[in-house]
Amino acid sequence: MSLRHRPWEEAVDFQIGLRPIAIADWLEGGEDDPAVRKDALFERARDLVWAETEGSEAGQAEALGLIETALGPAPAQTGMPPLYVASRRVADDLCLMEKVEGQWRLTALSLSAGGFFTATEAIGKSLSELHGPVTGFAERFLTRVQRVFEGLRPELVLERRNWTVLNSGELHTPSSSPIRALIPQIDPREAGRTLRLRVERQTLRRLPQTGGALFTIRVWLAPLGDLADDPQRLAAFAHAWRSATPDLRAYKRFDLYDHLVEAFLRDPQPA
Ligand code: HEM
């Protein structure tokens, strides 16, 4: 990603961090043919990457309409759910949120780059349930996030970003255990090459006709070593790593990577 997004420079705690962006900046692009990557997963591991609820077709079709407005008409695809047709056009993962009996719920998703969750686990969940593992979410953020969903205006596009460090260069990371099991094998001198900065750039838009909302997740990866040549960026990252709040550190399991990241910061080697 050549460090296009550097959210660690902005906050050392969990945050809502939603800001309006221009509609023209909604989709970042940057992947020649996302369908190649997504179709392979759809064939091989459908339950991990695709799920829909009954009754979500209209919202899915409206989401496809938004993507087509941005990128031009999609080739006709028979038998494919509309949200998946939309997802094949974009590097982003697509999540359809709809209000069901008073709760904002995930009613369909195409998830090719899930960060330690799967489509089957997430489908049907409310905002509160989706964020159950996020320390303090219910107390600090839930009401405000629900209000954001209520107040979305049709022409508004909101963006937020998060970040972590992982020893994986894969976009598709449904489960943490196989990745974390490899940490003891990493030579600290190789940390700049082996560890990745993993950024999720997320957007949120209203679907004006059906009343739902489309949440997009785009994952960007870069080797930690990409920070090595820039003292200012390196210092900003060191600050973020060392000043992160205990809750954030625990949630992202920074403890597993401390020895590797500190070795890199002592002797920053390019990837
Ligand atoms: C737009 C408003 C939203 C806000 C402000 C928000 C906020 C957060 C925060 C603070 C986290 C912790 C990691 C991070 O810093 O990002 C998180 C994690 C997560 N969010 Fe959201 N979120 C939003 C919408 C959604 C939606 C629509 C979904 C539906 C797919 C979702 C699914 C998740 C999941 C699955 C996690 C990981 C939970 C885990 O660790 O298992 N979020 N979110």
134 in a domain, yes or no?
yes
10 phi, psi to nearest 5 deg: -110, -25
**Residue showing tokens 């509160």:** 128
For the cut 90, the answer to whether the pLDDT of residue 3 exceeds it is no
Does a structural domain hold residue 14? yes
Q: Is residue 126 part of a domain?
A: yes
Query: For position 77, what pLDDT does the model report?
Result: 79
Best of 131, 198, 248 for a ligand 1 pocket test (most atoms within 8 Å of beta carbon): 131
Q: Which domain holds residue 109?
A: 7-181+196-223
- Does 186 have pLDDT greater than 60? yes
Asked if residue 74 belongs to a domain, the reply is yes
Residue-level pLDDT at 76: 81
pTM of the entire predicted model? 0.97
Q: Which residue among 134, 201, 206, 219 is best mutated to probe the pocket of ligand 1, counting the most ligand atoms within 8 A of its Cβ?
A: 134
Considering the domain boundaries, does residue 22 fall inside one?
yes
Predicted confidence (pLDDT) at residue 1 exceeds the cutoff of 60: no
- Could you tell me if residue 75 is inside a domain? yes
Tally of domains within the chain: 1
Provide the percentage of residues in the chain whose pLDDT is more than 90.
96
HSE of 267, CA atoms in CB hemisphere, 13 A: 7
Instruction: Encode pLDDT of 223-266 as tens digits.
Output: 999 999 999 999 999 999 999 999 999 999 999 999 999 999 99
Mean pLDDT along residues 135-161: 97
Given a contact cutoff of 8 angstroms between Cβ atoms, the answer to whether 11 and 17 are in contact is yes
The mean pLDDT of the chain is 97
pLDDT, tens digit (0-9, with 9 covering 90-100), for 67-93: 999 999 988 878 999 999 999 999 999
* Other CB atoms within 10 A of residue 20 CB: 11
Q: Is 14 in the pocket of ligand 1 (CB under 6 A)?
A: yes
Residue 151 CB less than 6 A away from ligand 1:
no
* Mean pLDDT on 163-168: 98
Contact 142, 119 (CB under 8 A): no
The whole-number average pLDDT for the span 158-184 is 98
Residue 173 within a domain: yes
Is the pLDDT at 2 greater than 80, yes or no?
A: no
Whether 159 is covered by a domain: the verdict is yes
Phi, psi at residue 170, to the nearest 5°?
Answer: -85, 145
